[in-house]
Structure formats: structure tokens, C-alpha cells
Structure 1
Amino acid sequence: MNDHLGAVSALLDPALWRDRIFNGQWISAHGGTHIFSEPATGEQLGRIGLANAADVLAAGVQARAAQKAWATSDYKERAAIFRRAAALIAQHHDELATWIMRETGAIRPKADLELREATAHLQEAAAMLTQPKGQLLASASGTMSIARRVPHGVVGVISPFNFPLILSIRSIAPALATGNAVVHKPDLQTPVSGGVLIARIFEAAGLPPGVLHVLPGGADAGQALCSHPDIGMIAFTGSTAAGHSVGELAGRHLKKMSLELGGKNALIILNDADPDIAASNAAWATFLHQGQICMCAGRVLLQRGIADAVIERLVEKARRLPVGDPMGGDVALGPMISARQVARLHSIVQDSVADGATVLAGGTYERQFYRPTVLTGARAGMRCFEEELFGPVASITVFDTDEEAIALASATSGCLALGVITPDIARAMHIADRVPSGHVHINDQTVLAEAHAPFGGGGTSGNGGRHGGTIDWEEFTQTQWLTIKTEAPRYPF
């Protein structure tokens, strides 16, 4: 086992967390231990405690007990905890980036991005502590009427493997900032980047024990989280299929849910765009982090007049982008997270080719390294057109008119992000207003997120919830109506 990653640092030293879970302290788990490996090499990275349903049940009770004191503690000290946590990320940046690279197969710029955005989410959480928590409503003389935001109590967070730090911290930080305690289940493939790292920065920053629990676990732990009587909300990020299961179980127990799911997103490139810039946007939106991003452009829609020029440039980029171990050299794409994900992606490509699509670049792999792929001739009914790819494949469809582009982009119900490339802003707005999408980027590609901006989608991309900035007050609290009279009235009964 490769334990040298954290051996020289007090923050992620494996001796602190090996074989353990976190409840404010590092304790043994009832589910035993889980071994996780580096996707680039297959080398064992570490061993984490494996939480089961009993661990989740205990954590929920402990979190509920700790939540009230946390919610009523001095807001200035709570804000200071978030700022200290952000400072710890900066202090240990290189160490944390190495873990993200090795655990997720990320290139260094992606790891740096995760750490920067995680810091931004922590800073936003600190700022929330001095923001208004409600509204003064109209009322009769002698009565004060207030709509105030109050915590759910305990929030359960379930996060995925692709951007494990950001997609965990963007729920954990605002949930804590709004006065909730948190029970967090990170993905077992990335338990350090998505779990241990967060536990350690908050532990070192002085978060009171019991307010945050980090429990890597399997399906049984997730089910226990969704049905726990002391957990009032579930914030889930993951696949649409898993989101259906989480939503069904949490709904059965009358919990609030924030479901941010997969996206079959569209990047529309109109015929008046610059072909070089268009190809650059298409490559970034489809190949970044091996395409393992919910915002990746699962459909690249090219208007016929520019199609050949963009395809030619995109094929050239795909053929020359270096693929390999991010720790071993200067590469643009690392490994996909697992052999299972590679097999799924390759079956989509092969099935689409059998249905008439054409591979112009890529379409091959070695171990978990999938070559950036350009697939043309995609049309409705093909797997490459209908399913979320979650791999480095540019699936291209050529269209003639703007109305055809609108119809193609609207053909699936899971458009989390929409990009439109054209110098004609009015034309782009006409399209943007007619394609249902969680967020829209004119003259940019689809992979964009900022800590202060609302992020989320509807349809098969989610239940309409949002993360980011002031919107977090709506997600992680509920509104309570409070009235105060100067004296109690006398009623006729």
C-alpha cells in the first residue's frame, strides 16, 4: 500500500484515518474496511473505514444532538471556522492536489481547479453568516411579522467520484453555514478527496465534534441515510438512475431533496462562428477530465456551413492530445475512473457505429485510458445521442436551421447546461429561450460553475434544486413564519 502521500504532512497522514470513519473523531466502522486504488496504475492507495447502516444510524443521532448548539453558537466564530478551513487548503495545496490527481485520475490543472473552487465555496459559506436570514412582512399595528430561515436540522450529503471535493463541499459548507449538522457519504472510489480531506480541514479548523460525520459506505449506508428519522434533507449528486432510487426512498420518508443528476448537454455551434474557437470549445467541453463531468457536452450540434471546418480541427486535436498517467508526465487526459466505466463507454461507441455513426478519431483504449474520440453522424435513437457518455467522446450531429438546432437540443429531458457559439447575440438568445436547460452560456462551452452562481437542472438532470451563493439559503433551510405582538389580544371565545 502506498502510504507516502500524506506521510510528510499533518493534514492527510494516513495514520490518522486508515481503517476509520469520522464523527468528530476517527473511529472504527462496523462495516469493516475498504481498499481503494489509483485508476492510472491500479496501485493500492489506501484503506478506509467502511460505514454500514448501523454507523449511519448512530451518526444521525449524534449529529442531531450536536446541531442545536452549533446553530446557536456565535456567528462570528462559525464564519472564522470556514475561513480557517479555506486557509488550510491553501497551506496544503500541493499535498491535496496530489491526492486528487492520484485518486481521480485528474491532470494537475483539474486538481488545482477543485481546490480553488472548494476554497471559494468555503469563503461563500463564511459570508453567509452575515447575510439576512429572512424578511419583515407587512403586519397590523402592534405586530411584527417575520419570515425567517431556519435549519432542517441534519442534512445528509451523498457525492460522486468525478469532482469529489467540489461536489461534496458545495453542499456541506452551506449546510453547515445555515446551522445544520451534516452526515456525508462520499464515493468509495474517492474517499480521501471527497471525504477525509473535508473532515480533516474542518477538524483542524475547530468545527465542534459531532457536527460533521464522514462515512464512506455502500448502498446500505445510502439507504440508511435516506430513511433516517433524524435527517431532514438529502443532497445527492450522481447519476440519473441512482437519483431515481434516492428520490424515491427519501420521498417516502418525506425528506426535502436536492438532486443534481446527469446531463445530456448540448453545445450548439452556428455557421457564423470562428471554426478555430468553435473547435477549441468543443474539445474542452467533451474531453476535459476524460469527459467525466455532468456538464460535458454530450451532443455537439454543428450547423452545416461550418461543420466540416470544425470537425477537421476537432479531429486534429483529438489525435494529438496526450493521454497517460497524470503523475508521470505532461498529459491532457488521464485514466477513466474504472474498467467498468470504460466498458460502458466503449459499448456506446460500438453500438452507435453499428447504427451508422462514424469514428474519425479515437474509439480505442488501453486499460483505463480511453483515447479522445470524435464520432460523427449521431442521430436520435443512437446511444451516443440519447445516453450520457461520461467519457471523452465528441458526439456530433449536423443541422441546417436554427429551429432544427432547437429541436435537437430539446430532444432529451436532461439538459443541465447549454452552450451557443455565435457572434449574433440575438440569434443565440432566440435559441437559449427555447431550449430547457439549467444554465445557458452564450459564446462559451458547457463546463462552467462558480461558487456564487446558482447551479442545477430539471428533468432527468435533477429536481430543480440549486447550489451556489444566496440560493443556498433556500436549499438548506426552511421558512418559518414568526409573529411578535406587544401584548396578547383578548379573543371572543
Structure 2
Amino acid sequence: MTLMDTAVWDGLIGSGRTDGDGWTQGSAGTQDVVEPATGENLGTVGLATGDDVRSAATIAAEAQKEWAARKPEERAAVLRRAGQLFEDRAEEIQEWIVREAGSIPPKAGLETHIAANECFDAAALPHHPTGDVLATNEDRWSLARRRPVGVVSVIAPFNFPLILSIRAVAPALALGNAVLLKPDPRTAVSGGVVLARVFEEAGLPTGLLHLLPGGADVGEAVVAAPEVAVVAFTGSTGAGRAIGETCGKLLKRAHLELGGNNALLVLPGADVDAAVSAAAFGSFMHAGQICMTTGRHLVHSSLYDEYVEKLAAKAAALPVGDPHTEQVAVGPLIDDKQAQHCEDIITAAVEAGATVAAGGTRDGRFVRPTVLTDLDRDNRAWAEEIFGPVAPVMRYDTIDEAVALANDCEFGLSIGVLGDVGTAMDIADRLDSGKVHINEQTVSDESQAPFGGTKSSGNGSRVGGAAANIESFTETQWVTLRSTIAGYPF
């Protein structure tokens, strides 16, 4: 039997039950798994309801107690085996990412590579120091120790379904928690079934990881379940605000990684050919469906005309098509709604005065890589996160103007600066962004690096690296110890 044999999970949810089979019927029925490039049905996944979530949360809370009490080496071993499975079964997993998420094969390969690293890095967390010895004014020992939060809900999006699930699931489990995982229904296999099967094969005890695909009602339930202490959400800013509001009312921690409209600054004197290559990757990788996508190109006037000409030529030359059957650079958008949204943005941009230097056309779910010029700050293509393969380009004359334009955005996720390193370092100190990449484009992620944004891009770096993961998925408990019972004046 292969890891992703549909006979195991087709039409089911990962119940995490402790009474035997970890797969069961979802109370909301099933949903087809649709290949965005062709519309072909690849199988079915089960759909959960709020009642399924509440049952899963109860099971998870009970199973978590025993898991947290396990020896650190036992939890670490499960994470190491999971990482090895992501490597050993990479080809099988990547085919699902290509077909279900519309990813080109190199992007699918990146997802399995990072998933393995997330597990290997998480495997070190159980042996990480769990506290501090504190100074005290009393005749006692004073300690601060880290303990698992209990049950963590992970809500993940469609665009990088495996990475954006595993980066929270792996450290949460490693630190002794149970997890309720709600993937986007459009990528419930790549962002859900894959993880459930990997951890099942890795020997994770039952009851600890529950796969709960579904709509907004399931999302609300995994946030509201009383057993859940922390919610890790990656997705749109609108949904993130709603989750943050609910968590605030319920006094739960919310780790929110939200949208972005990221700027790429091209400095005077920059190598235009190299800059255009970086820019095309930043804007057109995975058809622009990345929170870190380069959504705004700021180019010095001395380079502007050459940059636009070469970026337009690069966009026009990129092959677009089905990444499963053709060697392409750009695949489909995830569904008709997203493709229509992208087309609407381009149309509105042109009506507001923008010029199409390349692309601008749509064929079903395929949108040609598009370069737009002659925009102002209020143009929708400049001001909004598009989540499509669109590169709006604007010129600037001074460094102060470039910094002001880069910061003039509701988001603060990622910014790239291309050109003279000294100038770029000075600029970096003035940028309001969770990530700044000098002589790189805006899309970058590593399992050991902090990831997060400012302003409407989220509430800070909540994942990546031991410090962020421990902070995210544990609570601090104060403990004092005396050799004899203390005396009191009562």
C-alpha cells in the first residue's frame, strides 16, 4: 500500500479516534477533489461539521495528557520519522500538490523539502531547555518552566497547503500538544490528508491529530472549542481579523499570518537583467498566489524604461499551462472565482488609466503573466493584494520617495531591495516590514527563520525557529520550592 492510497482515506476525515481506525465518515458528507488545471475529479474527501469538531476536541484534550507525559526522545522520534517519510515519499506527495494545488513540480518539491525540515527541526524541540532558574528575594528556589498549551487549532490556506500546515502542526506536536487541523477544502489532500497519513505511518499515537476539512462553520468551531488554547491561522486579513476578535473574546492566543502587498525596490545602478529575473520570480511564481508575492515594483527612473521592457519580454515568454502534463512556469489559479477576481483587477486597473505592457488575458483558470504600468497609488492593482500573476510597476526619483511608497501600504509582510548593499542597508532601517531581503525578491521561507508581518499582515513572527515555536505553543508556569513549609503571620 502506498502512503496516499485512496482506499485508506477516500471520502473520510481523520477522526483521530482512540478506539481503532483513525478515519471515519464526516457528518457533512463528502466533497470532490478537483484538479484546477483540468477540472478532473481526483477523488473525494470527507467534510466535518461543528459536532465533529467538538468530538475531536474532547478526544484530543484527553490524548494530549499522555502525549505530553511521554519522554522527550519518544516525541522526537515520531517527528524524525515523519520528516524521513516526507523525504522517502516525496514524489508521491508532490504529485498531489501539482494536481490538486496547480503547482509546478519545482514548487511541489520545495513543499516536501521544507515539510521534512520542519519535522527535523521540530524533533529538536522536545530536548530544548524548558525553563529558567529565577532570582528570588525569598529563601526558596524560583523556576519558570514551559508546558504545552494543550490543544492547538491549525487553519491553513490553499496556496502552499503542505508548508503552511506542517509549520504549525510539527512544532505543536513536538512540544506535547494535540492538534485540530482544518485545511482549505480546495486543498484538503495536500494540506490535510498528507499530514494525517505521514504522522499515522510515523507512529503518532491516535487521538492527537484530527483532520477536519470544511467551510466557515468548521473554522468557527475549531476556534471556539473550549479545549483549544491556541489558534494558528494563515490566510486572508479579513478572516484573520474575525478569528482574532473571537480569540480575544474567549481569551485565547491567536497567531495570525495574513495578507501582503509586497514591494520590490530597484535601486539606481542595479543590474537590470538580474533584477528582472528576480522580479519575475517574485510576481509570477505559483501564479502569484503567495502572501509574499511581489505585488509592487518600485524602479528608479534611470532604469524604469529598460526594466519595463525586459520584464514585459520575460512575462510574455513564460509558458503557461497544466503543470502535470506540460513543462510550464505558470500553472492555473486555484478556481474560477480567483481567476475572475484577477481578471477584474486587471480590467479595473486599465479603466483607471493603467497600461498593459504584457499579458492581461485570461483563459479559464489560466491568467497570462501581466505587467502593468502608468498606475497611481489609488489604482486597485497597486493598492490591493491581487493573488494572481500581475506585476504593477511604478517609477520613483529619490530614495526618500521610494521608502515612502514602499511603506504606503496597509500590509507589512516582505520587502526586497535590489542594488547597492550599503544603500539597501540604510533603506532597510526605514522599512515597516516583517521581512527585508537585500538583493533577493520578496518570496523566501526557511523552517529555522522567524516568519510574520506588521500592520495588516498579522500579529508578528509567530512561527519559525525554536524561540518562536516555543513561545507559540507553550505556556509559562512559575514554580517555587522550599525545603520546609514557609512560616506566615496568620
TM-score range, shorter chain: over 0.9
Give the structure 2 partner of residue 130 of structure 1. Answer: 127
Amino acid at match of 1:207: L
- Write the deviation string for residues 372-422 of structure 1: whole angstroms up to 9, x where unpaired: 000112221110111101110111111110000111011112120011011
Picking from 394, 399, 407, the partner of 2:396 is 399
**Within 2, Cα distance between the matches of 1:458 and 1:366?**
36
Q: Are residues 1:21 and 2:17 paired?
A: no
Q: Are residues 1:426 and 2:427 paired?
A: no
Counterpart secondary structure, 2:75 = helix
Q: Are residues 1:326 and 2:323 paired?
A: yes
Alpha-carbon distance, 1:36 to partner: 2.1
Give the structure 2 partner of residue 380 of structure 1. Answer: 377
Counterpart secondary structure, 1:87 = helix
Give the structure 2 partner of residue 5 of structure 1. Answer: none
Alpha-carbon distance, 1:250 to partner: 2.1
For the 8 Å contact 2:434–2:461, the answer to whether it is kept is no
**Within 1, Cα distance between the matches of 2:171 and 2:246?**
24
Give the structure 1 partner of residue 456 of structure 2. Answer: 460
**Within 2, Cα distance between the matches of 1:426 and 1:414?**
25
**Within 2, Cα distance between the matches of 1:397 and 1:45?**
42
For the 8 Å contact 2:289–2:387, the answer to whether it is kept is yes
**Within 2, Cα distance between the matches of 1:253 and 1:50?**
26
**Within 2, Cα distance between the matches of 1:210 and 1:127?**
23
Structure 1 length normalisation: TM-score? 0.97
Give the structure 2 partner of residue 269 of structure 1. Answer: 266
For the 8 Å contact 1:125–1:177, the answer to whether it is kept is yes
Alpha-carbon distance, 1:426 to partner: 2.5
Amino acid at match of 1:30: S
Give the structure 2 partner of residue 48 of structure 1. Answer: 45
- Write the deviation string for residues 30-70 of structure 1: whole angstroms up to 9, x where unpaired: 11111120000000111111001000010111100111110
**Within 2, Cα distance between the matches of 1:242 and 1:354?**
29
Picking from 167, 177, 180, the partner of 1:180 is 177
Give the structure 2 partner of residue 203 of structure 1. Answer: 200
**Within 2, Cα distance between the matches of 1:426 and 1:87?**
42
Amino acid at match of 1:402: I
Give the structure 2 partner of residue 446 of structure 1. Answer: 442
Which deviates more from structure 2 when the two are superposed, residues 139-148 or residues 105-114? Answer: 139-148
Alpha-carbon distance, 1:457 to partner: 0.8
Amino acid at match of 1:473: I
Amino acid at match of 1:284: F
**Within 2, Cα distance between the matches of 1:295 and 1:372?**
17
Give the structure 2 partner of residue 220 of structure 1. Answer: 217
RMSD: 1.0
The correspondence of residues 142-153 of structure 1 with structure 2, limited to 5 A, is 142-153=139-150
Amino acid at match of 1:76: E
Aligned residues: 484
**Within 1, Cα distance between the matches of 2:479 and 2:422?**
46
Give the structure 2 partner of residue 435 of structure 1. Answer: 431
- Write the deviation string for residues 281-318 of structure 1: whole angstroms up to 9, x where unpaired: 11010000000000011111101111112111111110
Amino acid at match of 1:318: A
**Within 2, Cα distance between the matches of 1:485 and 1:431?**
54
Give the structure 2 partner of residue 338 of structure 1. Answer: 335
Counterpart secondary structure, 1:129 = helix
- Give unmatched runs, 5+ long, in structure 1: 1-8
Q: Are residues 1:37 and 2:34 paired?
A: yes
**Within 2, Cα distance between the matches of 1:253 and 1:226?**
9
- Give unmatched runs, 5+ long, in structure 2: 17-21
Which deviates more from structure 2 when the two are superposed, residues 169-178 or residues 133-142? Answer: 133-142
Structure 2 length normalisation: TM-score? 0.97
- Write the deviation string for residues 43-101 of structure 1: whole angstroms up to 9, x where unpaired: 01111110010000101111001111101101101101011111111111111110000
For the 8 Å contact 1:418–1:446, the answer to whether it is kept is yes
Counterpart secondary structure, 1:461 = coil
For the 8 Å contact 1:266–1:415, the answer to whether it is kept is no
